[in-house]
Amino acid sequence: MTELSLCLSSLNVELTILIRFSGKKCPAMVANFLMIFAPRTSQIDSKNQQTIHIPQIHRNTNEFRSNVKVFIDKYGNQFPQSHKLSEFIKSLSADECFNLIVNPKDFSIKEKFCFTAGLLARNEGAVYDELIADFDEKYGDVLDAYRLITIPVLGKFRIGEPKKNIRVCRFCGKSMGDGATFTKVAHAISESLGNQKLFLNEECDDCNDYFSRSVERDIALYFRPSFSLLGFRGKEKRNIKAVGSNFRLSNLDGRNIRIEINGDCPVPAGQPLPLDLELCFHGNERIILQNIYKALVKYALSVIDSADLKEFGSTITWLRNDTFKNKLPKVATLSFDRVIEEHPKIALWVRKNERNDLPYAVCEFRSAFYIFVFIVPTFAANSPSFLDESEFENYWEFFPFWSNCDQWSFIDLSTSEPKKLIFNIQLERGE
């Protein structure tokens, strides 16, 4: 079986297309697909199977879009992934440059950034050499110590063993031979957070049920007010609504928000809204803040390479049971309202050397206008807990692309006592 991975990336969107075919001879359909990206002078020799040379940089021209349409009209039913290419094109502006990397796993993070720097230089006029120098300053030491795991955001993506009969659940260690079932669709990140694309094969039905009614329930309630204001959709693509003891929030059409207040209203009837107004809302349901940390860690362990799971035996026991730690490392949070992520994104840094003063894994999770950076704890006896201020500071300063920003807040999600959410909304009248 021959396998070919194609990664198309713009400055905002990434698409991975996986091509498999039997034997060494490239089928005509695959060759025609590759020819979309080949120089105009290239030709297919079906008998001699000559090499097709594909450049790295491409431009979204009228000719390119036309070639894609011709291919989809002919082969779209046989090659459904080609429709993802059509989606990718729609995300680009006319004549925008994008990269096509063949078998991206063969390239280092530095090499991949060089590809991105080339796009920034072509599309936005950035200075290539300055970008590379800045990258080396921010990422050099980190890349020596860590490898990065990211997940494509365009199109559906399944993690883990595709064959049910040989799957092993990541969270309980059971297979079908042990009585586990894999009939339900398991989302690597909760569907209630807007994830309709990223799925985990290696999560059995029992673990899926457990997480749904515990940690994933609590993180959904934690995000619900913000998601409701933004008009996000959750399970079954239904608009998310937030209801509490003194309020009801809903987004009517993507632009207009309805806020219903029960009880005393801060603005008397008939009076205009002030320029600035702060509202305090009280939730109906109780959540456990440590379950928010658990949910974030569960997402990280859903995307990590299965070979790394052996480092997280104690962590998985903590996730899969109603037990809690007395204290957890702080979580860094940042609100960035100029970029709103409608689909959650995750990036995981996994240590590749023996530097025990650094966490084994650190994760960045983005959803809506929130960014969370957190340690994925191993709870290993011979590793720092990062509860000590100096240990935490040493870790945080090691990642300059985070620590150089002074806008972060650090929150404690250790609490295991169920509490009702109280949150404030600051309203400002627009111009």
Q: What is the pLDDT of residue 136?
A: 86
Instruction: Over range 258-274, report the average pLDDT.
Output: 68
Q: Residue 376, Cβ neighbours under 10 Å: how many?
A: 24
C-alpha distances in angstroms, 305 versus 64, 150, 308, 348, 413? Answer: 36, 11, 6, 10, 26
Segment 400-418, tens digit of pLDDT? 999 999 999 999 999 999 9
Q: What is the pLDDT of residue 395?
A: 97
Q: Has residue 331 got a pLDDT over 90?
A: yes
Q: Has residue 268 got a pLDDT over 90?
A: no
Q: What is the CA radius of gyration of the chain?
A: 24
Q: Has residue 190 got a pLDDT over 70?
A: yes
Q: Has residue 92 got a pLDDT over 60?
A: yes
Q: Has residue 310 got a pLDDT over 70?
A: yes
Q: What is the pLDDT of residue 71?
A: 94
Instruction: Over range 379-404, report the average pLDDT.
Output: 94
- Encoding tokens for residue 140? 């050099």
Segment 33-86, tens digit of pLDDT? 988 998 765 555 545 555 778 889 999 999 999 999 999 999 999 998 889 899
pTM for the structure as a whole: 0.76
Q: Which parts of 109-189 fold into alpha helices (H)?
A: 109-124, 128-145
How far is Cα 205 from Cα 280, in angstroms, rounded to an integer? 39
Answer with the residue of higher pLDDT: 272 or 115. Answer: 115
Q: What is the pLDDT of residue 18?
A: 85
Answer with the residue of higher pLDDT: 364 or 13. Answer: 364
List the single range of 89-93, 231-235, 282-286, 360-364 with lowest mean pLDDT: 231-235
Segment 375-386, tens digit of pLDDT? 999 999 888 999
Answer with the residue of higher pLDDT: 229 or 349. Answer: 349
Distance of CA 9 to the CA centre of its chain: 16
- Percent of the chain at pLDDT > 70 equals 88
Q: Report the mean per-residue pLDDT for the chain.
A: 87
Q: What is the pLDDT of residue 282?
A: 80
Res. 419 pLDDT band, cuts 50 70 90: very high
Q: What is the pLDDT of residue 337?
A: 66
List the single range of 15-29, 217-231, 264-278, 279-293 with lowest mean pLDDT: 264-278
What DSSP designation does 112 have? H
DSSP for 45-111, written as a single string: -TTTTPPPP--SEEE--HHHHHHHHHHHHHHTTT-TTHHHHHHHHHTSPTT-EEEEEESGGGS-HHH
How far is Cα 299 from Cα 405, in angstroms, rounded to an integer? 25
Top mean pLDDT of 33-42, 156-165, 268-277 is at 156-165
Answer with the residue of higher pLDDT: 183 or 251. Answer: 183
Q: Has residue 111 got a pLDDT over 60?
A: yes
Segment 422-431, tens digit of pLDDT? 877 776 665 5
Q: Has residue 350 got a pLDDT over 90?
A: yes
